[in-house]
Amino acid sequence: MEKPQTSTSIHPSAVVDEGAQIGEGTKVWHWTHVSGGAVLGERCSLGQNVYISNRVVLGNNVRVQNNVSIYDNVTLEDDVFCGPSMVFTNVLNPRAHVSRKHEYRNTLVRKGASIGANATVVCGTTIGRYAFIAAGAVVSRNVPDHALMVGVPARRTGWVCQCGVKLPDLSHGQDSAIVHCPDCHTGYTITPHACEPIEPEA
């Protein structure tokens, strides 16, 4: 393991394998295992009983809550939130007696997205920037930026601001509209299929 910066905190019960890269200010809590090939950015937080596999990349300021396993070929960009006990898969058709390690699918969670407690993300999907996956949802296809996804299978029920607050919906018969977040007042152009900020996001 690369020598951590002084602000990095690794609990004595955690296991960090040699070769793992841990960014400055990152905290690794009780009974967590970080494999040797993993790359963790700065100011991340891994809760209790988290597993990070070898071919995993976490950006900066990623929050992984308790009881989450992140397997090979998963990438989380900056500011991603993974709620307690949510699940990533990495094989579409697993069998105990068939090895499919060569079939792992890439999963990408874009900047600022949130995944709620007990949600499942099926491998091979991309979750868009600032999307919000509700607790217990099952995501099996790509998710647009800012989409609010609910249910099994997950379906879009609205759009969400960068700050996490649900945006106003289109009025009946509208093809597009400019709406503003009721909390932070950020403006967006929304259609039935997309949500884009009026001002470019950082």
- DSSP assignment, residue 7? T
pTM of the model: 0.93
Q: How far apart are CA 144 and CA 154, in angstroms?
A: 12
Q: How far apart are CA 103 and CA 93, in angstroms?
A: 10
Q: Burial code of 79-96, b = ≥16 C-beta within 10 A, e = fewer?
A: bbbbbbebbbbbbeeeee
Q: pLDDT in tens for each of the 202 residues of the chain?
A: 554 445 899 999 999 999 999 999 999 999 999 999 999 999 999 999 999 999 999 999 999 999 999 999 999 999 999 999 999 999 999 999 999 888 899 999 999 999 999 999 999 999 999 999 999 999 999 999 999 999 999 999 999 999 999 999 988 888 999 999 999 999 999 999 999 999 877 6
Peptide bond into 153 cis (omega under 30): yes
